[in-house]
Chains A and B, each alone.
Chain A
Amino acid sequence: MHFALTDDQRAIRDSVQAFLQEAAGLDRLRSTIEADAGWDAELWHNLAVDMGYAGLMVPEAYGGIGGGAVDMALVLEETGARLAMAPFFETAVLGVQTILGAGTEAQKRSLLPGLADGSTKATLALTGPQGRPAPDGVTAWLRAEEGAWRLSGESCFVPFAHVADLLLVAARAPLSAGPRGISLLALPRDATGLRVERQPGLDPTRPLCRLTFDTVAVAPDQILGRAEEAGPVLERILATAAGLLAAEQTGGAAFCLATTVEYAQQRVQFGRKIASFQAVKHELADMMVAVEAARSAALYAAAAIDTDTDLLEACSAAKSWCSDAYRHCAGETIQLHGGIGFTWEHHAHLYFKRAWSSSAWLGDPAHHRERVARLMGLDDIP
């Protein structure tokens, strides 16, 4: 595991950074939020189609760039910093990892090229209305009725499902529990009996949807891999996704720090810049410690994904640390801006809401710490 970035990696980071600085400013984000579409189609097109980064982790054999998780982490740090309002993480990470992890060779061949070239937007539906982490939280049902598969129930908190072309859905067999009986399905958004409804969400930059399944007919080739046996691969897919979400969170936290430093250097009270007050300096210093550690944690997770060593622990470590760090930094961003930080007009609340929504998504910090506790052997007999 080497921690110096390669020239290629630096080029990736710089290209995304330069592009998003131009194309994804806060004003544009605001107008995207206020428009009804719930996403920035042009931004998606640039990022996914023109730059090809939706296919960054898709192997070349399936039409992608064949890059690794470290490359992806660098891109996600930038999309996270800008709250890029497009189903990028959903497609390039959740979609790609789910199909790569669970699909048969034929399914990879038929599905991945569309994701890689940006023509297919994907997302992953996991949990029921209580939002418990998968696999326990999976509540949609898949059962065989007279030799045909039928999907019923619902899936909630599904990001960007309203614009996704391909819905990947986790479902479980009747009476199954935990990781047993889990299937992963790949359904078109217009499948008969499938309804997508936008839910009013706290975080306006990552719109959430509810999916209801009214005995949707599922063809055998719409089941990724083998029916009812996807539990173990799902664990790994979700760990990978959590580890990469940590990179996105790092980018958000770093943006909060940078903009707060900038503000503190401008705002004058008591005849001094507020940046000269030690209480303010020390808070900013603590934010920097949290951000740099978050960056280490996210890179560590990405490297662990690429080398397949300590993957589960590294990803859980990163997701819990980076969630906490982002929440802290976004909260202090409001605090250090004072009244203006509490307004609808200011960007602080957008980052704050993203921090909390991404913290709860794909397992909250306590959930991931509990996984680390198990992995570090706390339940082994002494």
Chain B
Amino acid sequence: MDDTPELERFRAEAAIWLESQLAGPFRDIRGLNNHVDLIERRRDWEQCLGAAGWSCVGWPAAYGGRDASIAQQVVFAEEYARARAPARIGHIGVELAGPTLLAFGTPAQKKRFLPDIAAGRAIWCQGYSEPNAGSDLANVRTKARRDGERYIIDGQKIWTSMGQIADWCFVLCRTEPGSVGNKGLSFLLVNMHQPGVTVRPIRQMTGESEFSEVFFDGALAEVRDLVGAEGDGWRVAMGLLGFERGVSTLAQQMQFRNELDALIELAKENGKAADPLIRQRLAQAQIGLRIMRFNALRLLANAESGQLSPEGYTYKLYWSTWHRNLGELVMDVAGPAAEIGETAERFPPLTTMFLMSRADTIYAGTNQIQRNIIAERALGLPREARGP
């Protein structure tokens, strides 16, 4: 894509700022791509981004954004990844909670929550999944009972990313006693720092803990922190899932680009680049990533002109599968060297990426669920039968 002069200036401004911070005060966290290391420094980084106005560039200036166009958002995402800036621990607030509030929140709610997200002061987590509500999200059982100007919440969430460090959680819960399925649900914003909330980290197959169980035991939420009407939580929750794709996917692609480049270097160093089968797979990875970018550009171009965009439905399944395949290619290129770590939990970054990639086909709708969505919503095929 050729930048306009204005976009070029924007790109240069972003690149210079990022470099000055990441070669300077934030040298120590440059390139960190997990969500667990040096958490206090990572909070500092979120706040530094916020103070400089780089945290939520696409948001309205009134809430701490820059009113950036889609093209500018893409440029910033590209520069962010190019600079090997650390993974955002504020991503759930920035990419999910914020856009949901922008779309469904009242003016008062926007004022109350958005500036803190944009300033990097509030870390958020997503309270959707429960032990018995995974793919079947409408089966949530966590209850919220109204008591005057408050809700009292009881129940359990699980697989809550960033749960252990989050300040706020958006919770999908049942406000209508006896309701079933997607009726009677509400979308509540809950403060994590209170006696009724207990967080227990869960160790994942990488050895690290990025997600947690979250128990609500008489936890409190204010009625003014209900997003959408009571009982209208499903609509808000589904609207949010739409934000899980879009501009942020382009940032993710730059991360993928960095991984693929590292893999290519490795293959050249260890001689695997001469193996005809490995060459084919590396080329296929390259081709797949190029296409992913053009999928995203089509998606954004259509979104800008307000057109329905069928490729949007295919996006998640496409990238998750691509990335899982890249993980397997990493292991085949690296060979036994991939198997030796510093400790039993600290492996070379590409090995960690291989392990992490197994989650990509599970969270944000498993590959099977994505296929159901494509079949039913994009192709108009019959819906899945529900059990009794």
Contacts and interface: CB of A to CB of B under 8 A. Distances in A.
Contact of A293 (B295, B305, B379): B295
Given A2-B301, A281-B372, A285-B379, A378 B287 contact: no
Q: Is the interface of A mostly helix, strand, loop or mixed?
A: helix
Given A281-B371, A314-B290, A378-B264, A275 B381 contact: yes
Interface in B309-366: 310-311, 313-314, 317-318
B48 interface: no
Contact of B267 (A275, A317, A321, A378): A378
A286 B371 contact: yes
Interface string B1-20: 11000000000000000000
Q: How large is the interface on B (under 10, 10 to 19, 20 to 34, 35 or more residues)?
A: 35 or more
Contact of A299 (B294, B300, B372, B376): B294
A378 B273 contact: yes
Contacts, number: 139
Given A275-B381, A288-B378, A382-B265, A373 B287 contact: no
Interface in B132-183: none
A273 B372 CA distance: 16
B294 A372 contact: no
Contacts of A285: 317, 370-372, 374-375, 378-379
A368 to B, nearest CB: 8
Interface stretch (B31-39, B93-101, B111-119, B277-285): B277-285
Interface string A305-344: 0010000011011001100000000000000000000000
Contact of A370 (B2, B279, B374, B382): B279
A380 B314 contact: no
B295 to A, nearest CB: 5
Q: Which 4 A-B pairs have the closest CB atoms?
A: A281-B375, A3-B301, A285-B374, A285-B371
25 contacts: A1-B1, A1-B297, A2-B301, A3-B294, A4-B301, A4-B302, A264-B381, A276-B385, A281-B371, A285-B370, A285-B371, A288-B310, A288-B313, A289-B317, A292-B314, A296-B311, A307-B2, A313-B290, A370-B283, A372-B286, A376-B282, A376-B283, A377-B268, A378-B279, A382-B268
Interface of B: 1-2, 264-265, 267-269, 273, 276, 279-280, 282-284, 286-288, 290-291, 294-295, 297-298, 300-302, 304-305, 307, 310-311, 313-314, 317-318, 368, 370-372, 374-376, 378-382, 384-385
